[in-house]
Amino acid sequence: MNFKKSLPVLALLLAIAAGIVARPAAGQTAPMHRPRIAVLDFDYATVMSSSSALFGSNVDVGRGITDLLVTDLVKDGTFSVIERKALDRIMAEQNFSNSERADPTSAAKLGKLLGVDAIIVGSITQFGNETKNTNVGGGGGGWGGFGIGGVGHSKSKATVGITARIVNVDTGEILGVAEGAGESSRSSTSLLGGGGGWHGWGGGNVDFGSSDFQETIIGEAVKIAVDKLTADVVSNAPRVSVRTITVDGLIAAIDGGQIILNVGRKAGVNAGDRLEVVRVSREIKDPETGNVIRRLTTSIGIIKATDVDDTSAVCIPISGSGFRTGDRVKSVAQ
């Protein structure tokens, strides 16, 4: 044996044994799907009075913090996170109220409709300052650089606390709990001070992801808390199992560049899903019963669902051509 020639092979075997090189499962060439999750806007009822005093109006801090969490989770890549517009549409269809934000049972029902593996619900437990005598009040949305409204009597740091629960959509079981706490490194007579470019808000909304807000005292604490919460959520990823849903349907119609299927949300199709289109070339029947025991098919291409209701789906082609009414669609092989 040529020892020098065998070195690369030996190195590869050692790398596989050590886990440096991933060993694909038998017959599998593509990576497994990431767990698919949705994140409900966090409940902020506990801190509504303090946040309203801070901003001078009722700002949905739960939604703002949720948007930051979703951004962090997307950047991390451990989970596949459903788009907000899909979540908002289902919530509207189900008349989901803000009071149900932190309810695992209601969240699980939404999660099944969305076709996700788990859904995250949470609450803002702290959103304010560490000292009670600091005046964070004052009205209106126009301030420049440092503070709003009234002037406080002492400096304080901003503190933010968040809790979240990861819920199994099939059972309503809480798979994991995550927490995030943040405290600003700076003190100020106003929690909205410290951001040199901060000039207020419009329509009662605050962009928590803007650099202007994150440069404020409270913005700094929010960012720290959300980053810690994100790390805690990601650490629970092994507890979230990927649900196996097999889609089997037909192309019902083709209209221009749109492909309409006879299966939808109830069959497991969700917006963003990719499906394989196959054409049946031959059906094999049991000679005794006459029942179809196997269909021989040819792959035509891949399509993506863009709009889904309970019983149908609108798709666009991703690859392939020549799609026809009656072609079968199925889940893309893993």
pLDDT category of residue 28 using cuts at 50, 70 and 90: very low
Q: Are residues 101 and 78 in the same domain?
A: yes
Q: Are residues 315 and 210 in the same domain?
A: no
Q: Are residues 291 and 145 in the same domain?
A: no
Q: Are residues 95 and 161 in the same domain?
A: yes
CATH number, domain with residue 188 = 3.40.50.10610
Residue numbers of the domain that contains 83: 36-239
* pLDDT the model gives residue 205: 62
Q: Are residues 229 and 257 in the same domain?
A: no
Report if residue 14 sits inside a domain: no
Dist CA 20 CA 32 (whole Å): 18
What percent of the chain lies above the pLDDT cut of 90? 42
Task: Give the phi and the psi of residue 265 in degrees, each rounded to 5.
Answer: -60, -40
Between 193 and 173, the higher pLDDT residue: 173
Is pLDDT above 50 for 26?
no
Dist CA 145 CA 192 (whole Å): 9
Cα angle 248-266-303, degrees, rounded to a multiple of 5: 45
Lowest mean pLDDT among 54-58, 72-76, 118-122: 54-58
In the predicted model, what is the mean pLDDT of residues 17-41?
Answer: 58
CATH number, domain with residue 263 = 2.40.10.410
Q: Are residues 225 and 316 in the same domain?
A: no
* pLDDT the model gives residue 74: 94
Report if residue 42 sits inside a domain: yes
What's 43's DSSP letter?
A: B
- The total of structural domains in the chain comes to 2
Q: Which of 239, 269, 286 is the last residue of a domain?
A: 239
Q: Which of 239, 261, 281 is the last residue of a domain?
A: 239
* pLDDT the model gives residue 25: 41
* pLDDT the model gives residue 211: 83
Q: Are residues 268 and 160 in the same domain?
A: no
Report if residue 5 sits inside a domain: no
What's 188's DSSP letter?
A: B
* pLDDT the model gives residue 144: 31
pLDDT category of residue 148 using cuts at 50, 70 and 90: very low
Helix and strand numbers (H, E) in the chain are 7, 11
Q: Are residues 232 and 259 in the same domain?
A: no
* pLDDT the model gives residue 154: 62
* pLDDT the model gives residue 23: 40
Pairing of strands 274-285, 292-308: antiparallel
Do 161 and 170 contact (CB within 8 A), yes or no? Answer: no
pLDDT tens-digit map of 268-325: 888 888 899 999 889 999 999 999 999 898 999 999 999 988 899 999 999 999 999 9
Both tokens assigned to 145: 């650089």
pLDDT tens-digit map of 197-249: 444 544 456 788 888 888 888 899 999 999 999 999 999 999 998 877 788 89
Report if residue 13 sits inside a domain: no
Q: Are residues 219 and 252 in the same domain?
A: no
* pLDDT the model gives residue 106: 87
Average pLDDT along the chain: 79
**Beta bridge mates, 234:** none
Q: Are residues 235 and 310 in the same domain?
A: no
Q: Which residues contact 82 (CB under 8 A, 6 or more apart)?
A: 36, 37, 38, 114, 116, 270, 272
Do 230 and 69 contact (CB within 8 A), yes or no? Answer: yes
pLDDT category of residue 265 using cuts at 50, 70 and 90: confident
Q: What is the value of pTM for the model shown? A: 0.64
Is pLDDT above 60 for 5?
no
Lowest mean pLDDT among 34-43, 115-124, 147-156, 169-178: 147-156
Report if residue 309 sits inside a domain: yes
Q: Which of 176, 210, 239 is the last residue of a domain?
A: 239
* pLDDT the model gives residue 189: 56
Report if residue 210 sits inside a domain: yes
* pLDDT the model gives residue 268: 81
Both tokens assigned to 309: 């209701």
Q: Are residues 182 and 270 in the same domain?
A: no
Q: Are residues 105 and 210 in the same domain?
A: yes
Helix 61-76 vs helix 217-235: crossing angle, to nearest 10: 50
Report if residue 20 sits inside a domain: no
Is pLDDT above 60 for 3?
no
Is pLDDT above 80 for 38?
yes
Report if residue 172 sits inside a domain: yes
In the predicted model, what is the mean pLDDT of residues 147-174?
Answer: 77
Between 206 and 92, the higher pLDDT residue: 92
Q: b/e for 198-215, b at 16 or more Cβ within 10 A?
A: beebeeeebebeeeebbb
pLDDT category of residue 71 using cuts at 50, 70 and 90: very high
What's 132's DSSP letter?
A: T
Is pLDDT above 50 for 266?
yes
**How far does Cα 141 stand from its chain's mean position?**
31
* pLDDT the model gives residue 190: 62
* pLDDT the model gives residue 244: 72
